[in-house]
């Protein structure tokens, strides 16, 4: 039998161990991992000497083709491919009417899904969708069963902003999410405290970027997380906390993870590498919500990743032009930063090179855990029979991050000038080459929408 491809001479990394093996691929699937040099007939032989062979990164928190974001599916997914990300989950918004809305009138969740499926026809990588509740309309609950049947097994909610939901409505939504055994993914900040603090800071003229973290302190994140976690526990709903930034919030999540079955959490690459000094150095470019915190909070992210309180490292990628982000007052800068192209090498440099964490630790947090948390059964692994999504990664190559290399439409980087050790050499999706060095070779539309299963969090 002649297989499509064999990857030879690489060092294989899984979430459990690291070992020498050859990777055999056929018909888009992993056939097996065999001893180095095993006689294998293959149409294509890839020499991975000196490289790590690891599962494709799964990023469950990427914004493309959405409100307040310039990246299309094509550009966002090209950036993902160059960064070793073979699957991401983005957001299908329920239209709402308001000052921050691109829509003139409210719409349904299903309409939001159809918009994203159309936009996703240009994706280079595989993708899933979080159905996103942006207004308080109980009619949306009637859509939950059909959306879950169609592979949207998670529902996003905000507790802040114009499209944030009241605690009372979130309670009802959690009950309905629990009824269909889906996952509630939640952005937690206490809106009333954040709004009051911003108003006071505006009045006091505290618009310098270095003042920005004071507008959304760690306790606003922690208190909202505690509120929603209590409701999730009462509803017996699966809770996944987005972009954890602080020791205070991670401690809250830890308190609810006694049996580990119904609670999951993530942090983002920037919260594991950057701190509030970035506002002094970069101005408003790193204005994100929740904000960058202290060095102690950065350390806390690793402590809670290591303990298992936090399961995943994502990006919360959002594309903007520098001209949109640069402002004299922090409140004039939109929230968000692009990073999906940089996450793997940046996190590798911080976690493995500088802090001494293992390669299985990296694969667990960036590949295995996000796939398992969100029902991506064929992703985040190198097990035989699963999708042949893998990355060839050079653990020794150094690079200096420059925004001029962005595949995203964003023309800046919060990691500008940062020298990191580790570089994506090639990215493969379903056995086919997506990206080779700094070139995306796959055509728009190669990526597919992935219908996700209901995840089993008991394992």
pLDDT at 341: 98
155 close to 185: Cβ distance less than 8 angstroms: yes
- Binned at pLDDT 50, 70 and 90, residue 260 comes out as confident
Q: With 90 as the cut, is the pLDDT of residue 261 above it?
A: no
pLDDT at residue number 405 = 97
SS (H, E, C) the chain: CCEEEEEECCEEECCCCEEECEEEEECCEEEEEECCCCCCCEEEEEECCCCEEEECEEECCECCCCCCCCCCHHHHHHHHHHCCEEEEEEEEECCCCCCCCCCCCCCCHHHHHHHHHHHHHHCCCEEEEEEECCCCCHHHHHHHHHHHHCCCCEEEEECCCCCCCCHHHHHHHHHHHHHCCCEEEEECCCHHHHHHHHHHHHHHCCCCHHHHHHHCCHHHHHHHHHHHHHHHHHHCCEEEECCCCCHHHHHHHHHCCCCCCCEEEEEEHHHHCCCCCHHHHHCCCCCCCCCCCCHHHHHHHHHHHHHCCCCEEECCECCCCHHHHCCCCHHHCCCCECCCCCHHHHHHHHHHHHCCCCHHHHHHHHHHHHHHHCCCCCCCCCCCCCECCEEEEEEEEEEECCHHHCCCCCCCCCCCCCEEEEEEEEEEECCEEEEECCEECCCCCCCCECCCCCCCCCC
Q: What is the mean pLDDT of residues 252-265?
A: 91
pLDDT tops 90 at residue 197: yes
Residues paired with residue 240 on neighbouring β-strands, in sequence order: 185, 264
HSE toward the beta carbon, residue 285, CA cutoff 13 A: 21
Q: 230-239: per-residue pLDDT in tens?
A: 999 999 999 9
Q: What is the mean pLDDT of residues 331-352?
A: 98
Backbone φ and ψ of 322, nearest 5°? -55, -40
* Domain 3-54+384-397+421-440 bears CATH identifier 3.40.50.1100: no
Summarize pLDDT for 201-226 with one digit per residue, the tens. Answer: 999 999 999 999 999 999 999 999 99
pLDDT at 258: 82
Distance CA 155, CA 133 (A): 7
Q: Residue 243 has what pLDDT?
A: 98
Q: Has residue 125 got a pLDDT over 80?
A: yes
Domain boundaries, the chain: 3-54+384-397+421-440, 56-373
- Please compute the mean of the pLDDT values over residues 271-299 and round it to a whole number: 98
Q: For residues 360-386, give the mean pLDDT.
A: 98
Q: Check if 3-54+384-397+421-440 and 56-373 are the same fold.
A: no
pLDDT for res 290: 98
Q: What is the mean pLDDT of the chain?
A: 97
Mean pLDDT value across residues 31-45 = 97
In the chain, the percentage of residues whose pLDDT exceeds 90 is 98
User: For residues 283 and 208, what is the distance between their CA atoms, to the nearest angstrom?
Assistant: 8
Mean pLDDT of 299-309: 98
Average pLDDT over residues 376-395: 98
Return the pLDDT at 155.
Answer: 98
Give the model's pLDDT for residue 459.
76
Q: Which two tokens stand for residue 8?
A: 């030879």
Residues facing residue 42 across a β-bridge: 3
Q: Which CATH architecture has domain 56-373?
A: Alpha-Beta Barrel (3.20)
Rounded Cα distance between 50 and 111, Å, is: 48
Looking at residue 458, its pLDDT comes to 87
Which pLDDT score, from 0 to 100, does residue 259 have? Answer: 74
pTM over 0.85: yes
């Amino acid at each position: 039998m002649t297989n499509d491809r064999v990857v030879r001479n690489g060092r294989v990394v899984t979430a459990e161990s690291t070992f020498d093996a050859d990777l055999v691929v056929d018909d888009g699937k992993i056939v097996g991992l065999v001893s180095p040099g095993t006689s294998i007939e293959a149409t294509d032989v890839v020499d991975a000497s000196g490289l790590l062979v690891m599962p494709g990164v799964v990023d469950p928190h990427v914004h493309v083709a959405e409100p307040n974001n310039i990246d299309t599916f094509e550009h966002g997914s090209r950036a993902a491919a160059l960064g070793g990300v073979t699957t991401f989950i983005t957001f299908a918004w329920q239209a709402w009417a308001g000052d921050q809305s691109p829509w003139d009138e409210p719409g349904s969740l299903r309409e939001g899904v159809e918009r994203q499926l159309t936009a996703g026809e240009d994706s280079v990588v595989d993708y899933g969708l979080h159905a996103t509740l942006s207004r308080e309309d109980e009619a949306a609950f009637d859509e939950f069963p059909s959306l879950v049947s169609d592979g949207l097994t998670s529902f996003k909610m905000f507790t802040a902003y114009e499209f944030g939901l009241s605690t009372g409505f979130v309670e009802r939504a959690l009950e309905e999410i629990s009824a269909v055994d889906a996952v509630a993914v939640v952005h937690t900040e206490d809106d009333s405290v954040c709004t009051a603090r911003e108003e006071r800071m505006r009045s006091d003229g505290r618009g310098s970027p270095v003042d920005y973290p004071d507008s959304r302190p760690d306790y606003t994140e922690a208190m909202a997380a505690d509120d929603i976690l209590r409701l999730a526990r009462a509803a017996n709903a699966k809770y996944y906390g987005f972009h954890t930034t602080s020791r205070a919030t991670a401690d809250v999540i830890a308190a609810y993870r006694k049996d580990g079955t119904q609670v999951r959490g993530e942090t983002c690459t920037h919260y594991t590498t950057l701190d509030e000094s970035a506002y002094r150095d970069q101005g408003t470019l790193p204005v994100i919500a929740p904000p960058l915190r202290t060095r102690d909070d950065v350390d806390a992210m690793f402590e809670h990743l290591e303990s298992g309180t936090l399961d995943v490292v994502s990006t919360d990628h959002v594309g903007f032009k520098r001209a949109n982000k640069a402002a004299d007052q922090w409140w004039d800068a939109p929230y968000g930063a692009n990073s999906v192209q940089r996450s793997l090498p940046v996190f590798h440099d911080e976690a493995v090179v500088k802090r001494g964490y293992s390669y299985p630790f990296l694969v667990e947090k960036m590949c295995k855990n996000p796939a398992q948390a969100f029902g991506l059964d064929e992703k985040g692994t190198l097990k035989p029979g699963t999708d042949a999504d893998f990355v060839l990664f050079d653990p020794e190559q150094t690079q200096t991050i420059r925004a001029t290399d962005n595949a995203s439409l964003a023309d800046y980087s919060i990691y500008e000038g940062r020298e990191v050790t580790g570089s994506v050499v090639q990215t493969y999706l379903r056995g086919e080459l997506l990206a080779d060095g700094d070139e995306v070779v796959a055509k728009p539309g190669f990526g597919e929408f992935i219908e996700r299963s209901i995840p089993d969090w008991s394992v």
